[in-house]
Amino acid sequence: MKEYSKMRWIIWNEIRRYLAIPYIRLKFLMSGIHWGNNWRVFGSPIIQKYKGSKIRIGDELVMRSWISSNPVAPNHPVFLSTRSLGAEILIGNEFGITGGSIIAQKRVIIGDRVIVGGNCLIADTDFHPLDKAVRKESPNLTFGMPITIGDDVFIGTNSIILKGTQIGGGSIIGAGSIVSGVIPANVVAAGNPAVVIRNIE
């Protein structure tokens, strides 16, 4: 408590969080998302859940949408979106995220003890067709490729995780990276496109 007295913004954020819990829990309930054990949700996320899709989050969640809740300063609330019948966002225990978006046309699977830094984008779809003729006729015709993120992964702030990406357990993605394809377990990867820099022993 003595240490917290030197960081009064933490106390203020906790007071705001407790006051907001009833409204935020109701929002999750109305979206059909089970409220897990020991969730700490700082500010209301934006939830767009397609009918017949699934969003499941494990216990010990820390979700930060308020600007004041993290010095990284999220530029918008956490955004959870499923965009088709049967789409899934499946997240394990001890997950942390600050701002940013998780968007599933097909499936986004995130393991346990994963930390997603501020203002990241995880999307398993391109949102619009890449072919210009198809885009003109059917601008919303898109196809998803599932994303899988293993246990104990850390994704640095402002990174983008593209469709079809697989990140192995224990790996670290450097800040500002754009990730596509397969990143093996227990490595540091960074860049645009992200490449393996070194192994983690």
The pLDDT tens digits for 159-183 are: 999 999 999 999 999 999 999 999 9
Residue 27: its pLDDT value, please?
Answer: 95
CATH of the domain at 43: 2.160.10.10
Residue 9 is part of which domain span? 4-199
Using a 10 angstrom Cβ sphere, with 0-12 exposed, 13-18 middle and 19 or more buried, the burial of residue 27 is middle
Domain count, the chain: 1
The token duo for 46 is: 């934006």
Active site residues: 128
> From the centroid of its chain, how far is CA 93?
13
How confident is the model over 50-61, as a mean pLDDT? 97
pTM: 0.91
Phi/psi region, residue 75 (left: phi>0; alpha: psi -120 to 50; beta: rest), is alpha
Higher-pLDDT residue of 33 and 201 is 33
